[in-house]
Structure 1
């Protein structure tokens, strides 16, 4: 068997995780000793999967019924992502899952996995098709973030949600590699200095995987950024706006940025057009291409990676997009982007040839 070149192997891995639809991705687990309390998700899957695994997810059993399970970080396993004891034990009990059972998880979109369960015989567990417990579909599942607010008697938690701009209302289309070459994409890596790169080089680097060098951020810091965006959203303004939390696939790889569908249908020009993005207190602006897909998704594509890199956007930062003008004749719009960072100190990203 001929040995593949290193770049070919990297490219194949990149295309698998970034160009294939998320609904093509699966993982399996052989149930370990402590499987009935919590279950670690494979590290490679949680790191490479282009949909963010956090908050709540839905597990759809063989019966078609749904179980609500919290996804959290395991403190004793180097921050590994896992199905926690908030929901997972019920799923195990209701399906009769046993030690060393082989369980597959196939992503089906909207933070949901279709689950199949196999016993030691190599066949599916019959009883799993007749599990009767589950939950009735709820709105806003997993889209709220706990905000800590203080009062005279101490601290309490309340739910903060960008319900009006619910990200479950849309799904990003698969990322298409629009570069004019493949192997040359991998020739540069290291510290990013986007202002020193040529236009063609920036376009190629935008196809790569970027790694954050920012320090670890806390839940409290994430909540503060959300609170600032919420406060901005409540301001009186004559311009339509929407807040959105930056995901890995918006700012580190793929650069799939889709405007919330309900908002886009109401406010955006319904044709391909250019958007001038402005950032307060900055003289320069960025012309970004906007397009509508066949599934009626409004996406920022051309030059969006440059906007991200030159403004040092990172995962969990919250941006408020405010549409201040649009011109049907000239096919142009202007949006001011207010950036609420989780960490104020900006540290350049690293461009890596590690795709997985």
Structure 2
């Protein structure tokens, strides 16, 4: 059966498991790369749960695009392993729907990691293959598509937000996920739980490598910080230490903490609203609004 959609199938391979997670796809799957454009964020829509993942894409040669920055969140969410398959279907200018299959042909989902489903393994395999041949269509016959390409494995953090420091407890995580869904950002949201040292002395806020990579941040510079529901703004700086690719926010960050009245265990969610002008909006979840664990 020939599909009316543009498709590509890639196989996960452990040979680059210790490097950056990446996959090459044909340029024809995306309409984002007009003449002169070499980098652009695209959206991956997981077929299994309709979650949207923002991934950095870069043009590679004349006919390929490499998906790299942020792809590891998708890989981690589906616990992908050697010989799993990624089936990409074009869904518009800058969006791809992705079906993930394990080596036996069963669809892998965020919630179903192989043992929790009430549907038999053979039943899930039949459903996935039927869906792939009818609604997705196969770009190559059978499971020979595993030879079409490679994707590395690297297991980082969350699928739609990135945090540093101690893991969130269950009540914090529930609140954060609820707010992240409400924000609906094009990019992953950076989550920071305020500590006592942040309130007392911290001159800067560490962002980490994953967040900067997922949001395609490449150059330091002046950063405009906004607060949800507030007309004020804070003139900060986005800094980069090139030796270890460490990113941080400083300059007016301590003033922001003071002006907003942040306290220990409050949670700040940083939404990148404009990448070109380096503007972020901060959403605050107060400790008093979070049930005790």
Which of the five TM-score ranges fits, normalised by the shorter chain? 0.3 to 0.5
- The TM-score with structure 1 as length reference comes to 0.33
Bigger Rg, which one: 1
